[in-house]
């Protein structure tokens, strides 16, 4: 099934390609120079993009269009009503061939596509275009189908709302690799709370001992100096036994 926006875009593509084909034919038959054809090709490429970009064009009245400027100054609007008020289409300073700037070409593409859509509304092989698809379950699609290749308005399957749902479908089936599942379906990581840093001790004592070619730093911490002095004899005795040295009062 194709929506009206998709069919309109296809019509724009068809007319742009046909324009370029006829342009090449005119160069071969010497009706246009290669320089003129290059100028047309450049502007048609940009017009093609404008015509297929949503919200870049608006028809104010029959034959009068507003075309928004692309780029940094996107708030600027050019008026196309048989001519265009952009600098490229200006007769004095413009470089567009025959005044056919990208805005005029974009309007021509959209008008041609709209004409094709009106033609498609006629019956094709007994089927009304556009038409609405109806499913076996009795429901209808919310959007009309504009597909020219579509030959039936009836579907032999049920709609997505009535399709049976298997709650045990593997996640890899729903989100095949390399696509990742949306964030709301991912298992959140287990966060380990960070421990608060230990406060600095109000009192501390560093003992530096050298034994042969080895230096040992021993730190004692406490709330008060009196606590450290009370523990100092036992600490010196332990170091003496562990290192095999003897402390003196010198």
pLDDT at 143 over 60: yes
Return phi, psi of residue 61, to 5°.
-155, 170
CB 7 within 8 A of CB 50: no
Question: By percentage, how much of the chain surpasses pLDDT 90?
Answer: 28
Tell me which of 68 and 208 has the higher pLDDT.
Answer: 68
- pLDDT at position 249: 62
CB 106 within 8 A of CB 47: yes
State whether residue 55 is helix, strand or coil: coil
State whether residue 237 is helix, strand or coil: helix
Across 46-50, 113-117, 124-128, 198-202, the highest mean pLDDT is recorded for 46-50
- pLDDT at position 107: 94
How far apart (Å, rounded) are the C-alpha atoms in residues 190 and 50?
Answer: 49
- pLDDT at position 13: 93
Does pTM top 0.75 for this prediction?
Answer: no
Does 171 reside within a domain?
Answer: no
Return the ∠ at Cα 82 (arms to 76 and 86), rounded to 5°: 30
Say whether both 142 and 228 belong to one domain. no
Q: How many CB atoms lie within 10 A of CB 203?
A: 14
Q: Is the dihedral of CA 26, 32, 36, 40 positive or negative?
A: negative
pLDDT at 141 over 90: no
How far apart (Å, rounded) are the C-alpha atoms in residues 25 and 31?
Answer: 9
| Tens digit of each residue's pLDDT (9 = 90 or more) over 88-101 | 999 889 999 999 99
Pick the range with the lowest mean pLDDT from 12-16, 38-42, 147-151: 147-151
Does 113 reside within a domain?
Answer: yes
Does 182 reside within a domain?
Answer: no
How many folded domains does the chain comprise?
3
Does 174 reside within a domain?
Answer: no
Residue 44's domain comprises: 4-120
Cα Rg, the chain, nearest whole Å: 40
Say whether both 9 and 82 belong to one domain. yes
Say whether both 97 and 142 belong to one domain. no
Fill in the DSSP letter of residue 116: H
What are 81's two structure tokens?
């009503």
Say whether both 139 and 96 belong to one domain. no
Question: By percentage, how much of the chain surpasses pLDDT 70?
Answer: 73
Chain position carrying tokens 């599942």: 181
Tell me which of 157 and 7 has the higher pLDDT.
Answer: 7
């Amino acid at each position: 099934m194709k929506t009206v926006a998709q069919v309109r875009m296809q019509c724009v593509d068809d007319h742009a390609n046909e324009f370029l084909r006829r342009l090449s034919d005119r160069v071969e038959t010497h009706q246009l120079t290669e320089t003129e054809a290059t100028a047309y090709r450049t502007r048609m490429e940009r017009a093609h993009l404008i015509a297929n970009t949503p919200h870049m064009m608006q028809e104010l009245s029959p034959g009068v269009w507003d075309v928004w400027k692309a780029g940094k100054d996107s708030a600027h609007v050019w008026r196309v009503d048989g001519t265009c008020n952009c600098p490229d289409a200006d007769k004095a300073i413009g470089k567009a061939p025959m005044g056919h700037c990208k805005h005029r070409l974009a309007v021509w593409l959209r008008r041609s596509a709209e004409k094709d859509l009106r033609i498609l509304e006629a019956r094709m092989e007994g089927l009304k275009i556009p038409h609405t698809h109806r499913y076996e379950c009795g429901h209808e699609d919310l959007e009309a189908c504009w597909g020219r290749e579509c030959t039936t308005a009836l579907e032999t399957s049920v709609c997505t709302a009535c399709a049976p749902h298997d709650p045990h479908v593997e996640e890899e089936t729903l989100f095949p690799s390399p696509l990742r599942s949306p964030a709301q379906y991912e298992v959140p990581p287990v966060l380990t709370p960070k421990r608060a840093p230990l406060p600095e001790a109000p009192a501390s004592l560093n003992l530096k001992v050298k034994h042969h070619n080895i230096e040992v730093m021993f730190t004692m911490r406490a709330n008060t100096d009196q606590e450290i002095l009370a523990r100092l004899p036992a600490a010196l005795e332990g170091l003496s036994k562990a290192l095999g040295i003897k402390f003196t009062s010198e």
